[in-house]
Amino acid sequence: AQKVTQAQTEISVVEKEDVTLDCVYETRDTTYYLFWYKQPPSGELVFLIRRNSFDEQNEISGRYSWNFQKSTSSFNFTITASQVVDSAVYFCALSERNRDDKIIFGKGTRLHILP
């Protein structure tokens, strides 16, 4: 069964618009971690955030914010006032303590910020 679902394959928005990337996960573990990574064209993964299953507090970091809701098994990522440099593929991922902390990635959302 797919563990992490990113339903949006590709999104295009005009610069300065806000955009939300959706992520829904599936796990039976009570202890798990959720992640977001950015992968620019260079290919190198850029770590954005890690959230553990016991911390449902939303987080804001500059233009980035994350909404973690266990009730809906979602961990959505919002970029406000998007910029062209935000164009990349964004991956949501899950690791489960009972599965040796292997990180399982969603299929990714390709984000295009148009000037």
Partner 1 sequence: GAVVSQHPSRVICKSGTSVKIECRSLDFQATTMFWYRQFPKQSLMLMATSNEGSKATYEQGVEKDKFLINHASLTLSTLTVTSAHPEDSSFYICSAHLGAEGGTDTQYFGPGTRLTVL
| Size (the chain), residues | 115
Q: Which is nearer to partner 1, 15 or 112 (CB)?
A: 112
Q: Rounded distance, CA 78 to CA 102, Å?
A: 25
* Under rule CB under 8 A, residue 48 binds partner 1: no
Stretch that binds partner 1, among 16-24, 64-72, 75-83, 98-106 (CB under 8 A): 98-106
- Dihedral over alpha carbons 37, 24, 7, 3 (to 10 degrees): 80
Alpha-carbon Rg for the chain in angstroms: 14
Stretch that binds partner 1, among 16-24, 60-68, 80-88, 103-111 (CB under 8 A): 103-111
Residues that bind partner 1 (CB under 8 A): 31, 33, 37, 43-45, 47, 50, 52, 91, 95, 100-108, 110
